[in-house]
Structure 1
Amino acid sequence: MQMRKFVNWAKRGLLAVSPLVFFVALAVSAAGPSDRDVAPAMRAAMQRDLGLSPAQLSQYLKIERLAAQQGQRLAKAQGDRFAGSWLERKPDGQYQLVVATTSIRPQRGPAGTEIRNVRHSLARLEAAKQDMDDMVARGARVPEGVYGWFVDVRENSVTINVAPGARKAAIDFIAASGADSDTIRLRTMASAPRPLATLMGGSEYLSSDGSNYYYCSVGFAVTRNGAQGFATAGHCGAAGDGAFVLVRRRTVSQIGAFAASDFPGADRAWVQVDNGHTLQPVVNGYGDGDIPVRGNTEAPIGAAVCRSGRTTGLHCGVIEAKNVTVQYPDATVNGLTQVKVCAEGGDSGGSFITTPGQAQGVLSGGNYSCKGKQAKLATSYFQPLNPLLQAYGLSLKLSP
């Protein structure tokens, strides 16, 4: 119980500046593009993912330019009967610009354009959506299983995404909002939407023991038997604790959980991340370009290493000693590597990497902060990466 109390305290990111005590608190243009403007990588991806031949891609780009150059004029010509516009792929693989209107008068647009008659104007659809938005803004609760709503100009409706079995709740929600029910279409969505995180060494995440959240930093992207995750510090979370990211700095979204964790004795852990999130085999350079992870060859004493973390960014120092035993308040950790570099609360778990891109370890703790003259006095410690990988049977993800 006393140890758990210390771990909770440590993860809150409290730091003392006394050089006598080392704290583990570091857990804390309007025209569309022409063929020649499309990067080769994007061209290949569009052909692959959209199933386009080179000729179809060229024709698509032509219609995209048409939409950029004439879309606004065509919309304005419909006045209050305008019901939206979009690019549409026809059965023969060619693309066209569709301009929807509630006018029943036959109309023809320029080549590559179809003027299509529909029932509801864009203004009517937007008003119905706004009724639901306004109700939520007034404090109404969105029912469980209602995943969101939007004006779908292609379907000429306000589409509400709902979970299987949530249709009645959605209908009650629509009725309470006063939205025009003639415009509404319910669409079943089997899986709930969630923010997708892109994680790299040194980037931010939060851990939670079920009652509190604590800032930490990602170490390195790893895999195990097809599962993906990242290495980090053990004091950031116990096995089973959740891992989260912040969404717009206000709400949290779970990305995975601690699959294994050891602290004290060692200070190592790995977080298994749910499918759908992206783990990049690089270390965040915080404005100076990301650092590719090329391998995990251990650097010698005296070698320069750089540390990346969510609180203080990228800082570099020199390895001073290995196999260091560090006594934190009420906790002893063995086998750490000592580096002459600063760190602060929230940097814990972050990456240590050499200039050739060899991954070294994850931040455990330290003493002074990175502010002012204290930075020159600071010492930090990292949990070596190779023992961490071996302990959990992990493979380090490498940059191409």
Structure 2
Amino acid sequence: MRKFASWARRGLLAISPLALFAAMAASAAPGDRAMLPAVREAMQRDLGLTSEQLTQYVQAERLALREEKALAKAQGERFAGSWLERKGNGQYQLVVATTSITPQRAPAGAEIRSVRHSLDRLEASKGEIDTLLAHGAKSPEGVYGWFVDVRNNSVTVNVAPGAEAAAIGFIAATGADADTIRFQRMESAPMPLATLQGGSEYLSNDGSNYYYCSVGFAVTRNGAKGFATAGHCGNAGDRAFVAVNRRTVSQIGAFAASNFPGSDRAWVQVDNNHTLLPVVDGYSGSDIPVYGSTEAPIGASVCRSGRTTGLHCGVIEAKNVTVQYPDASVNGLTQVKVCAEGGDSGGAFITGAGQGQGVLSGGNYSCKGKQAKLATSYFQPLNALLQGYGLTLSTSP
């Protein structure tokens, strides 16, 4: 046991172990299971949906999972991305973008939309920016990140107010295709969320300081068990703890591997006397079983579970996002319109159908008051994390 008197002085809440994610399930389609009441409640609250609209969204999500790959393949090199889109009447549809101008028939619940730039062209343009950073360049202050924005058929660059001129000069120097670039104002900078004060599901220790983060997914590797989390929560070899009470912590394991910056992924190997459950904490309701890790499309709704703020839901806005944190750049993140706070880092993202998506990396704003509606968060995709470390998810039956 280790004394942790400073924790009591900070007034943090006691920690209860976070329920964890599960692995890919081959026996059932990702959208076939009933959505738990806690998830329905959170989605309706955070996305402003009626019960009828949420039911229709689930139907659209199933259509996307069933049809989007075939529709993309049919477009070939003309394919420009796909996403779920909420229409003015509150209904959802699958949109498949193409550079073809020939009218095409889409299945019911989907639309094929003509755009200017192919996905290959957009990704090549973003790649020019990423390559410059990989060769040692640094983005200017106020440039917060960039991503292929299929919904706007562009490479969107997030820029602080007043930093537009610096952003234009930076992008021009990268050699990125100017026709594809779109600048978007972001009022608050994204930050890694581990070092901010707040209640946390577990604590990491680098030998001198404790940091607060949330557990993501239950995993195994060659018989060893543990959990996936964010890389900025700890370095390989750092120890992990849970709280016994408000003044005492107990070690549960150590970081077996960690990567940050570049990516933001880690896994903690846990001692055998601890139990890891293949579920996610629903906070306001029942724990949420995870049945797999099928990747949700852009426009899909996902929910984030973390110790500081509980369960909150939002919409996937972009994938393969490059985020510029203070003094650190991270590639390959997924951007979600949802709030998060310190201590939520490493926590789990899940769909309403129980498919694990990733672990929280960072964000801006908080979940308090009007700030929650402005907030953007980023997660490290789950499948890339598992593949990077040779991990297997634990699954719910």
TM-score (normalizing by structure 1): 0.52
1:20: Cα distance to partner?
3.8
- Please say if residues 200 and 212 of structure 2, whose CA atoms lie closer than 8 Å, have aligned partners that are also in contact: no
1:359 aligns with 2:347: no
The match for 1:395 is 392
SS of the residue corresponding to residue 386 of structure 1 reads: helix
Match for residue 318 of structure 2 among 294, 317, 321: 321
Match for residue 244 of structure 1 among 235, 241, 245: 241
1:309 aligns with 2:338: no
1:27: Cα distance to partner?
5.4
The match for 1:211 is 208
The match for 2:222 is 225
1:266 aligns with 2:259: no
Counterpart Cα distance in 1 of 2:283 and 2:195: 19
The match for 1:140 is none
Counterpart Cα distance in 2 of 1:337 and 1:262: 17
Counterpart Cα distance in 1 of 2:299 and 2:229: 24
Counterpart Cα distance in 2 of 1:248 and 1:19: 39
The match for 2:277 is 280
The match for 1:339 is 336
Of structures 1 and 2, the one with the larger relative CO (CA 8 A, separation 6+) is: 2
SS of the residue corresponding to residue 280 of structure 1 reads: coil
1:24 aligns with 2:192: yes
SS of the residue corresponding to residue 222 of structure 1 reads: strand
| Deviation sequence 1:19-41 (CA, Å, 0-9, x none) | 2411112455xxxxxxxxxxxxx
| Deviation sequence 1:34-82 (CA, Å, 0-9, x none) | xxxxxxxxxxxxxxxxxxxxxxxxxxxxxxxxxxxxxxxxxxxxxxxxx
Counterpart Cα distance in 2 of 1:27 and 1:303: 30
Task: After the TM superposition, list the runs of 4 or more consecutive aligned residues in structure 1 that deviate by more than 6 angstroms.
Answer: none
The within-5 A match list for 1:19-98 is 19-26=187-194
SS of the residue corresponding to residue 279 of structure 1 reads: coil
Counterpart Cα distance in 2 of 1:249 and 1:276: 22
Which residue identity is paired with 1:213? Y
SS of the residue corresponding to residue 220 of structure 2 reads: strand
- Please say if residues 203 and 350 of structure 1, whose CA atoms lie closer than 8 Å, have aligned partners that are also in contact: no
CA distance 1:341–1:27, change in 2 (3 Å): farther
1:203: Cα distance to partner?
7.2
- Please say if residues 26 and 343 of structure 1, whose CA atoms lie closer than 8 Å, have aligned partners that are also in contact: no
1:290 aligns with 2:276: no
1:370: Cα distance to partner?
0.2
- Please say if residues 285 and 291 of structure 1, whose CA atoms lie closer than 8 Å, have aligned partners that are also in contact: yes
Counterpart Cα distance in 1 of 2:364 and 2:204: 22
Counterpart Cα distance in 2 of 1:249 and 1:226: 33
1:250: Cα distance to partner?
1.4
SS of the residue corresponding to residue 386 of structure 2 reads: helix
SS of the residue corresponding to residue 275 of structure 1 reads: coil
Structure 2, unaligned runs of 5 or more: 1-159, 161-185
- Please say if residues 360 and 378 of structure 2, whose CA atoms lie closer than 8 Å, have aligned partners that are also in contact: yes
SS of the residue corresponding to residue 383 of structure 2 reads: helix
Counterpart Cα distance in 1 of 2:361 and 2:246: 25
Structure 1, unaligned runs of 5 or more: 1-16, 29-201
Counterpart Cα distance in 2 of 1:27 and 1:397: 28
- Please say if residues 217 and 309 of structure 1, whose CA atoms lie closer than 8 Å, have aligned partners that are also in contact: yes
SS of the residue corresponding to residue 390 of structure 1 reads: helix
- Please say if residues 27 and 349 of structure 1, whose CA atoms lie closer than 8 Å, have aligned partners that are also in contact: no
- Please say if residues 204 and 217 of structure 1, whose CA atoms lie closer than 8 Å, have aligned partners that are also in contact: yes
TM-score (normalizing by structure 2): 0.52
